[in-house]
Structure 1
Amino acid sequence: MNPSSLDGVAACLRTLDLQNISIDDIFDDKEEEIEGIESSAAGLEGDGDVLNDRPIKRLKGSQPGVEDILEKNVDIASENVIVPSTLSEYRGLWVAFTSFCVARGLVAEENNCDDFWRGLPPKLPLWIAGWIMDKADDLDITTGKPKDLSIPRVTYARAQKMRAAVSHKFSREYKLGTQDWTESPLNPGTFSGNPSLSPLVSQYMVRAGEIVTSARAMDQETMRKLWEFNTRFPYKAELEQNSRKRKREQPERWAGHKVRQMLQTLYVISMLCLLRYDEALRIMWSDINFVCIGGTPVVELRLPFRKTDQNGGKHESLRYGPSAEENAGIAPFWLWPCPERPWMDAVTALARWWQLCSEMGVEQYGYVFRSRYLYDEISVRADHAMSTNSFLEYFRNNMLDIGIDPRPYGTHSFRRGGCQYLAKELRWPIRTICEWGGWAENFDNPGTIFRYLLSWVDTPAANRQDLFNPNRPGQDPCMACGRTCHCG
């Protein structure tokens, strides 16, 4: 076979039968890769004048070249958003990728790569998958046969890092961001977007990983610590500006009581309703209905979007009341008070947030979770939703407040944590969890829920040596029956 061709890669991919990879798995993989891209850029949403503690020139008027100067300043400030050692590793991997393409005859010379990539060759996703396969897979991309056991293979974690290096290059340096890899309907054969986010690359990464490594699950104990810290944070009704000097002297003053209450509400809704936080950020007040059942206040949450919903993925405009057409086929979430576990009580959290919005003069329509301004206020504009980058920054700061490393946590942490909370703490059957989350009505894809319930990145529930220990300390007592045994 001609080594300059990547026909062998296509043959290997067909051998792996990637078509059997579920759409949910591909979607999860792409979301996690986007999260990695956006996480590296989260530091750009700072205080406006300083990005990553590096000064930015103030631009006045409409001077010539203002946009060029601004772009240059942002690029300079962005350099240290990613840890320098990681950035250096990304650059080394990018050189390895271009060398691979040159060796295979896909690109004429390494020196011309920067200009060449800007044209986005249609087969670019295949080249990325081929490069990762060459280093990580058991199959030889030229012969399509199993590699000799003496040939080293990189780990799946290393394969993820290889993909991340390519994602970073196209998203940040080539300014393609997290756009989907799509073919132009007007000019067939011409593609746009980030090739690392193409379905082909996601399919291969899911297959290569066997079980996609998910973000660490949020757990009830961490939720309790966040709730205690945030609810006890001093409340001040007056407007206040937080200076950089005060931030340096008191790092926990990155936000005040009201913003923290908004975040706490978002945390608990995301966890109980099994939502990714970017889904929770799209909730509007018109999705929420406070009702009374048998004298108990209950929240009915009707979402016009779900990950599995193919027709209503976004809020196209502000809605001032629930629509039967929008909510058709999407079962509502019914949330009840939980006084025994106030850190898991979405009803009380929402009621408190409603009260704080009233005190701030924010009308209860439009987005529930708004962008912040000053130290402890939110936007009065109904269409000013909190961005995912802002949430990531706030969430990480909040985790540091309670002494927990935020780096293992990500987009699916609350969804995964919610699944585990319902299964381990509330003892819900798997079928009930699937019905509550709106997944797999025919239960034909058990791998998705299994990944949410179990992953090596989660904290072990018990030491292995104590699993059969009859004197092992009991668990927290069940709120209903009072049992503390591990089989309860």
Structure 2
Amino acid sequence: MLAGFATDALQSFSVSAEDIADEQADEIEALAAAVDFEERQEQDPEYVRLPEEVHKKLKLAQIDLEKTIDSASEHVIVQSTINEYRQLWDAFVTFCIENELVEDVPPDQLDEFWRGLPEKLPVWIASWIMSKADDIDIHTKKPKDPSIPRVTYARAQKMRAAISHKFGREYKRGVQPWTENVLVPGTFFGNPSISVTVSQYMVRAGEIVTSARAMDEETMKKLWEYNSNFHRDDEIKPLSRKRKLDQPEQWAGYKIRHMLQALYSISMLCLLRYDEALKIKWSHLCLTCMDGVPVLILQLPFRKTDQTGGIAPFYLWPDAERPWMDAVDAFARWADICDKMKIEQSGYVFRARAHFDEISMQPRACMSPDSFLECFRNNMVDINVDPRPYGMHSFRRGGCQYLATVMRWPIRNICSWGGWAENFDNPGTIFRYLLSWVLILVQLAAEHVTARNHTYIGSES
């Protein structure tokens, strides 16, 4: 059942042939760098010099020569890495045994079984990595409970490298891609770790890490409702350790939450990268009126793609129908709070936190990316949303989808607004934002389990 599901799941991921080829090429290059000792020794006899006192006239048996070369090249990979590879290989074998993938193979024959390259090896390898690195449970096909830990993409790469090492060096399968023998159908040669199945999954696993899940309008509405209605207490009270444990939602007060809400809405509507949003200064913003309507104008001096300036200003208008997407109101509220706190409206708008519900009085004290991410994740836990798939890029990605699917903006307008080239000379990013498999995963996880058992980020244990 596991193998069947893994095959279906892996086939359902939309990954281009070019991405798979690149992933295979990277894996081949990495493995080749570790196993090319024999070839280099053959091409250059001086690569590893033998002491002169060695008895050169002694005739060596072929098997002894192979052992000598293996021993000499053993330390091409450091011993600690080899030990880790062995531990990961044992974990893979245990995974296969526990999931009854090799139930008919006696323990003392497992080594010979692996050398025989069973047909489903690539599926088993991808399933093992998926069981540790993915949001989707390989048994139920549903999102995992938020309490279940996932390994990082770097760890997933190490897991694959361990399998590549096992078959490439120990089983002498080298760096040839996994291929079916056309003369004997059903038999294979090459390295199972360097297969389309495994490469396809690794491309997806990399996307999971590098591509934060898009913020959506429904989640923005929940954040707005929670933050807007948060209890207001003008008296700053020290938080005891016991209170932090009993009331984890007290990681910040209403002031910090209003600052975050303004940051969320401006970032999403202007498709800002996190470093662009955090570095907004009071001088970059102007709250004015046009025909009796309040308008927020944001004039950035530079962007990632326009370091020398000359950037068209962003004009943000009120949205009475969607107050959770109203950056004008959110900013006005934050500006009013700053006035009451006697915060000078110069320097950075989004300041570093100071204690429970205060911000720095220093104009140059910008909120750091780490602090923002911690606050953002805690805020997501407030509304029972698993924060792990989201990152500092979620608002730019989500804003792109919001403008396209809700506001019905033409793609050319979105490109111009978000700083992408209008001539579509590099359309990959914009179309990944709009049509990538991330949208499919979001739909599959629409009924995601809540994060009620989460520990608040940064809370004391």
Instruction: Tell me if both proteins adopt one fold, taking TM over 0.5 as the criterion.
Output: yes
CA drift of 1:457 comes to 2.6
Q: 2:179 aligns with which of 128, 148, 161?
A: 148
CA drift of 1:455 comes to 2.5
Report the AA paired with residue 434 of structure 2: L
412 and 108 in structure 1: CA distance in 2 versus 1, 3 angstrom threshold: same
Cα distance in 2 between the residues matched to 1:456 and 1:373 = 40
Deviations 1:171-221 (A, max 9, x none): xxxxxxxxxxxxxxxxxxxxxxxxxxxxxxxxxx7xxx7x99621110000
Report the AA paired with residue 363 of structure 1: E
1:267 corresponds to: 264
Q: 2:78 aligns with which of 95, 110, 120?
A: 110
1:160-239 → structure 2 map (5 Å cutoff): 214-239=211-236
Asked whether 1:341 is paired with 2:322, we answer yes
Asked whether 1:353 is paired with 2:341, we answer no
Q: 2:415 aligns with which of 408, 413, 434?
A: 434
Higher mean Cα deviation, 244-253 or 254-263?
Answer: 244-253
1:370 corresponds to: 351
Cα distance in 2 between the residues matched to 1:439 and 1:134 = 40
Report the AA paired with residue 285 of structure 2: I
CA drift of 1:111 comes to 4.0
1:271-286 → structure 2 map (5 Å cutoff): 271-286=268-283
CA drift of 1:442 comes to 1.5
Report the AA paired with residue 78 of structure 2: E
CA drift of 1:444 comes to 1.6
367 and 341 in structure 1: CA distance in 2 versus 1, 3 angstrom threshold: same
| Percent sequence identity over aligned pairs | 56
2:57 corresponds to: none
402 and 17 in structure 1: CA distance in 2 versus 1, 3 angstrom threshold: closer
Contact 1:290–1:299 (Cα < 8 Å) also in 2: yes
Q: Which runs of 5+ in 1 are unaligned?
A: 1-15, 22-96, 115-127, 137-141, 162-204, 313-326, 464-488
Please state whether the residue corresponding to 1:398 is helix, strand or coil.
helix
Aligned length: 293
Deviations 1:220-250 (A, max 9, x none): 0000000000010011222222222111101
Asked whether 1:383 is paired with 2:364, we answer yes
Q: 1:291 aligns with which of 260, 282, 288?
A: 288
Cα distance in 2 between the residues matched to 1:461 and 1:431 = 25
Cα distance in 1 between the residues matched to 2:247 and 2:32 = 49
Contact 2:31–2:175 (Cα < 8 Å) also in 1: no
Cα distance in 1 between the residues matched to 2:367 and 2:255 = 14
Asked whether 1:300 is paired with 2:297, we answer yes
Contact 1:213–1:455 (Cα < 8 Å) also in 2: no
Higher helix residue share:
2
Cα distance in 2 between the residues matched to 1:113 and 1:135 = 13
Cα distance in 2 between the residues matched to 1:337 and 1:364 = 22
Please state whether the residue corresponding to 1:304 is helix, strand or coil.
coil
1:466-485 → structure 2 map (5 Å cutoff): none
Please state whether the residue corresponding to 2:287 is helix, strand or coil.
strand
CA drift of 1:292 comes to 1.4
Please state whether the residue corresponding to 2:367 is helix, strand or coil.
coil
134 and 448 in structure 1: CA distance in 2 versus 1, 3 angstrom threshold: farther
Contact 2:32–2:175 (Cα < 8 Å) also in 1: no
Contact 1:226–1:399 (Cα < 8 Å) also in 2: yes
Please state whether the residue corresponding to 1:458 is helix, strand or coil.
helix
Cα distance in 1 between the residues matched to 2:209 and 2:292 = 45
TM-score normalised by structure 2 residue count: 0.56
384 and 103 in structure 1: CA distance in 2 versus 1, 3 angstrom threshold: same
Deviations 1:259-304 (A, max 9, x none): 0000111110110000122321111111111221111111110112
CA RMSD after TM alignment: 3.8
